[in-house]
Amino acid sequence: MRILIVNVNTTEAITQAIARQAQAVAAPGTEIVGLTPYFGTDSVEGNFESYLAAIAVMDRVLAYDQPYDAVIQAGYGEHGREGLQELLDVPVVDITDAGASAAMFLGHAYSVVTSLDRTVPLIEDRLKLSGLFARCASVRASGLGVLELESQPLRAVEAIVQQAEQAVREDKAEVICLGCGGMAGLDDQIRQRTGVPVVDGVTAAVKVAESLVQLGLSTSKVRTYATPRTKKIVGWPMQLGR
């Protein structure tokens, strides 16, 4: 089984970290392929960048010319998953949804700890549309940008732990979701510090993707995610000649 995991930003190092994280939990026989968009920003922290990433992710996946069994969109709270679901016949899993979904099997309420405060409403909105918000205790921001999480891991752990502890104590969260692709690998440290299960969306998404493939399930094509009607795309230079 081959699973594509697509980063939402153009930072190759994050793609590699995500892919490693994914491969580490993959079943024997599952090949993880990390993809970096051909265009976009080196971190995604807001709506404009997220919309651009949505298209960049679709563009990158369409440009991949080998067979694959599922696609993971590895950005937390980003736009675009619905578009991929229309374009592809294989299952599409967003790490936001996979993380929340796993968390709900583990506790009565979960909180998300993400990077910047400005992305909190975006994450909340995505969880609402995904129908996974009813048991969300809170979405909290560490105040560190995506790249700072990468470059300053110690400070990142501290900032995230602090928010996670407040989520547990004040918001009554029983599980913490790491709300950022760039947080891959921090879950063990944070679990030890907070005493509650910590869900990493990337690894959760790998298991969801594998599960759907193994069960022979894929996106329903009867309505919302039906294949787009055949149309000419005008003036769009992307995904050509690749």
Of 82 and 158, CB closest to a second copy: 82
Residue 3 and residue 72 in contact, taking contact as beta carbons nearer than 8 Å = yes
Q: Is 168 in the site for a second copy (CB under 8 A)?
A: yes
Contact segment (CB under 8 A) with a second copy among 13-21, 41-49, 157-165, 178-186 equals 41-49
Strand partners, 111: 138, 176
Positions 146 through 165 that interact with a second copy (CB under 8 A): none
Q: How far is CA 173 from CA 48, 102, 155, 165, in A?
A: 30, 14, 23, 9
Considering only residues 102 through 141, tell me which ones interact with a second copy, judged by CB under 8 A.
102, 104-109, 117-118, 120-122, 125, 128-135
Q: How far is the CB of 61 from a second copy (least distance, A)?
A: 11
**CB of residue 41 vs a second copy: minimum separation in angstroms?**
5
In angstroms, what CA-CA distances link 166 with 74, 116, 238? Answer: 26, 16, 44
Judged by CB under 8 A, the residue of 1, 51, 153, 158 near a second copy is 51
Q: Among 50, 96, 115, 163, which residue sits at the site for a second copy (rule: CB under 8 A)?
A: 50
Tell me which of 65, 66, 154, 231 binds a second copy, using CB under 8 A.
231
Quote the longest CA-to-CA distance of the chain.
54
Instruction: Classify the C-alpha dihedral 217-93-134-129 as positive or negative.
Output: negative
Please identify which residue in 93, 144, 167, 180 interacts with a second copy, judged by CB under 8 A: 93
Q: Pick from 31, 170, 192, 236: which binds a second copy (CB under 8 A)?
A: 236
Contacts of residue 184, defined as CB under 8 A and 6 or more positions apart, other chains included, come to: 17, 18, 20, 21, 178, 200, 202, 203
Interface characters, 1-40, with a second copy (x: CB under 8 A): ---------x--------------x-x---------xxxx
**Contact set for a second copy, span 169-198 (CB under 8 A):** 172, 174-175, 195-197
Partners of 33 in the β-ladder: 4
Q: Which of residues 58-87 bind a second copy (CB under 8 A)?
A: 58, 79-80, 82-83, 85-87
First vs last C-alpha separation in the chain: 24
Q: Which two tokens stand for residue 64?
A: 């991949």
